């Protein structure tokens, strides 16, 4: 039986959601079963195993939060931070800014290390802040800043944090599946992702992982996590053998994530990174050729998310609407300080193909004829 | 293309999720589009309109939280309560207990008005607590206590709260769609629901509504809501005309809720209440006939969720497993003080039919032969 409303499909080339493969949509529509059904528990466990592989970690506490990537961000901070804790955050875009806001709401004393939008936060500035605040509970950065298209270097920060009691928290919402994340190798303690970016799964779950160091912090908190829903101590009792009821997991979304992660494994994680890198580079070259400016600092550009300033000072809004209405292609506008200036073009998940790039460029050439 | 894993369907007669109609599963698998796509915004607005009808309210701020019913509970409390506020909670089961926990985690001074599991919280005791704490910010009760099968009377409490500055908060996770909720008539200020109960939609969204009185409280808070993800002041900017990005809504889950609410409208809300009432009564009579005891206080039994003590002091666990394995039927075990003693049998959404009752009774008669 079919649903009563029509959806006109779009080619999703914005900052997420990315195009969802029919196999994943099919998984989504499998019959709903219970959250304590042995069949579902097996799926949830397999999802955790597969997430460990895309995160590059052996962390036991790796699972999916029952909310979107923003809920995972909140879960990341709320579980390791207590009121009054000092937290260092690198801010070079909207999502770094959000980490500051989230931290302050939970009573943290936030030290924001700001850099210009479109640039990285220089690791040495973060390391300097760490030396100035040796008691900091957390140092947080955004790996793939979706608001600007910047790829933040992590390695030096991970090395610096390792010799301290500070936990390294990394927002990998837009990087997981599209870029190496390597939680264990880099020494990340808390890392979270989105499903609707390079994994190509609809939005609705927030993959997350906590290192043993982070878990020690969580199990020895002085006051309980401000959120019952996101409390990892309670979630652990559901995820582990005792299977104690905590909340009703979004069953069908887990089917979809299970399938999306299976597809990443079939392709191979490194092949997926490679595919994202190749098409992203091809797109960026083609855009420059057409007079677009690239907003992100050279040498630190994400392949999967390109911030492109329109040629000839054109206003982005009307062209973005025309792209959607005439060509059925969605791209994103700018956020915060980048509003009105640029498009954010995502080539993520099933959208990261050479065909997609060609279809997009044809539409661009129709809307902005080349001289 | 089909997904790679099999799911053996179950007849879901537990405390939720309830059976999901194929039309809703079909809606779930429609192509994913963007959270700012005009097509999606129209669907979200229609979902809000339809939710107003099932909640019985004209409240502008009526929408679905991007998490499950437990996230909606947290959103309800976190938005209207500030640290140090006094909050009265009626506790006669697991979900009342959870409201206490949620309130305390956000720094509220919680007054728990406790009653025995299986009984209502006498309205006069709640009203007495209200007189003793005239400064209480919130008085909260659970309309349909899913842990026990008790239906809490609301009318007198609503009338008492109306003449005070205290907000009336009602957990209607298991009642919406299966029982009259009537937010406006009763004078409820904050009310939330689940999708996976009497609405028959998979878990993953938390319908919620805030009265103008609650919204005034929210817009004049002294400190921001502890949760960025659940902050109604920020969500309002996405839901209203400005459509300011806040988080990526779980697109496909909205398709499913949209379809589930369409089906409630096709049947008629009163017809849906009637159907739940009839099959629930029929089940309860048939169980008593078979020697089961009904855990919930007479006169205050939910039709959609029956707590049944097994006949002859039988242990519930092994029989519940046999019911799942031999008959493919899921029911729930007891929670908290009711663990080990009873089953929780839900007849909700598409599961609330006479056929379902018959199939369940046949299975019971197979497992527990009648003398």
Domains of chain A (ranges, CATH numbers): 22-265 (3.40.640.10), 269-367 (3.90.1150.10)
**Predicted confidence (pLDDT) at residue B371 exceeds the cutoff of 80:** no
pLDDT confidence of residue A345 = 98
The three-class DSSP label of residue B11 is strand
Per-residue pLDDT of A116-175, as tens digits, reads: 999 999 999 999 999 999 999 999 999 999 999 999 999 999 999 999 999 999 999 999
The alpha carbon of residue B185 is apart from the nearest alpha carbon of chain A, in Å, by 30
pLDDT for position B206: 98
B228, A253: Cβ pair inside 8 Å? Answer: no
Burial class (CB in 10 A: 0-12, 13-18, 19+), A20: buried
Torsion sign across C-alpha atoms A219, A221, A224, A227: negative
For residue B310, pLDDT beyond 90: yes
Task: Return all residues near B151 (Cβ < 8 A) that are at least 6 apart.
Answer: B120, B143, B144, B145, B175, B179, B296, B300, B301, B302
**pLDDT, tens only, B12-66:** 999 999 999 999 999 999 999 999 999 999 999 999 999 999 999 999 999 999 9
Closest Cα to residue A178, out of A278, A317, A272? A272
pLDDT value at residue B214? 98
Distance, first Cα to last Cα, chain A: 51
Q: List, for chain A, all residue ranges whose pLDDT scores fall below the cut of 70.
A: 1, 371
- What is d(CA B128, CA B179) in angstroms, rounded to the nearest whole number? 27
DSSP string, A32-80: P--TT-HHHHHHHHHHHHHHHHHHT---SEEEEESS-HHHHHHHHHHHH
Q: Dihedral of CA A176/A178/A183/A189: which sign?
A: negative
State the smallest CA–CA distance between residue A293 and chain B in angstroms: 24
**Residue B6 pLDDT class (50, 70, 90 cuts):** confident
User: Which of A173, A228, A255, A260 is most worth mutating to test chain B (most B CB atoms within 10 A of its CB)?
Assistant: A228
pLDDT, tens digit (0-9, with 9 covering 90-100), for B314-342: 999 999 999 999 999 999 999 877 788 89
pLDDT of residue B240: 87
Beta strand B86-91 pairing with B138-142: parallel
CA distance B159 to chain A (A): 31
Distance CA B44, CA B117 (A): 38
pLDDT at residue B4 tops 80: no
Q: Rounded mean pLDDT of B287-304?
A: 97
Q: Percent of chain B at pLDDT above 70?
A: 99
Q: Using an 8 Å Cβ cutoff, are A102 and B228 in contact?
A: yes
A186: three-class secondary structure by DSSP: helix
Using CA atoms in the order A101, A103, A108, A109, what is the torsion angle rounded to 10 degrees? -50
Q: Is the pLDDT of residue B166 over 90?
A: yes
pLDDT of residue B370: 82
DSSP state of A241: T
Q: Parallel, antiparallel, or unpaired: how do β-strands B167-171 and B190-192 relate?
A: parallel
Q: Which residues of B touch A346 (CB under 8 A)?
A: none
Flag if B31 and A2 touch (Cβ within 8 Å).
no
**Mind listing the pLDDT tens digit for each residue in B171-190?**
999 999 999 999 999 999 99
Whether residues A202 and B1 touch (CB distance < 8 A) is answered with no
Q: Which pLDDT score is estimated for A315? A: 93
What pLDDT is recorded for position B335?
Answer: 83
How far does Cα B240 stand from its chain's mean position?
A: 26
Does residue B241 surpass a pLDDT of 90?
A: no
Evaluate if residue B2 carries a pLDDT over 90. Answer: no
Contact: A66, B71; criterion CB under 8 Å: yes
pTM of the model: 0.97
pLDDT for B1 beyond 70? no
């Amino acid at each position: 039986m079919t649903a009563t409303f029509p959806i006109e499909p779009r080619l999703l080339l914005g900052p997420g959601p990315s195009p969802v493969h029919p196999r994943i949509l099919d998984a989504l529509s499998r019959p709903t079963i219970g959250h304590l059904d042995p069949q579902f528990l097996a799926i949830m466990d397999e999802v955790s195993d597969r997430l460990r592989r895309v995160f590059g970690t052996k962390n036991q506490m790796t699972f999916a939060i029952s909310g979107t990537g923003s809920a995972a961000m909140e879960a990341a901070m709320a579980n390791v931070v207590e009121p009054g804790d000092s937290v260092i955050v690198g801010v070079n875009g909207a999502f770094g800014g959000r980490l500051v806001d989230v931290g302050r709401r939970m009573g943290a004393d936030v030290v924001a290390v700001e850099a210009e939008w479109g640039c990285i936060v220089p690791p040495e500035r973060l390391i300097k802040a760490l030396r100035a605040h040796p008691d900091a509970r957390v140092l947080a950065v955004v790996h793939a800043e979706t608001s600007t298209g910047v790829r933040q270097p992590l390695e030096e920060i991970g090395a610096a944090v390792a010799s301290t009691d500070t936990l390294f928290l990394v927002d990998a919402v837009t990087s997981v599946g599209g870029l190496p994340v390597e939680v264990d190798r880099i020494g990340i303690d808390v890392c979270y992702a989105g499903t609707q970016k390079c994994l190509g799964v609809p939005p609705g779950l927030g993959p997350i992982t906590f290192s043993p160091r982070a878990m020690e912090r969580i199990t020895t908190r002085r006051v309980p996590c401000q959120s019952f829903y996101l409390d990892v101590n309670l979630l652990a009792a559901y995820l582990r053998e005792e299977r104690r009821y905590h909340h009703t997991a979004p069953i069908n979304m887990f089917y979809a994530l299970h399938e999306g992660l299976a597809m990443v494994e079939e392709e191979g994680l490194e092949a997926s990174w490679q595919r994202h890198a190749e098409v992203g580079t091809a797109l960026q070259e083609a855009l420059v050729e057409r007079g677009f400016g690239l907003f992100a600092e050279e040498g630190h550009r994400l392949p999967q998310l390109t911030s492109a300033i329109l040629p000839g000072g054109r206003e982005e809004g009307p062209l973005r609407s025309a792209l959607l209405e005439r060509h059925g292609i969605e791209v994103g506008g700018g956020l915060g300080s980048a509003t009105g200036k640029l498009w954010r073009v995502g080539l993520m998940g099933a959208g990261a193909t050479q065909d997609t790039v060609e279809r997009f460029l044809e539409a661009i050439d129709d809307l902005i004829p080349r001289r």
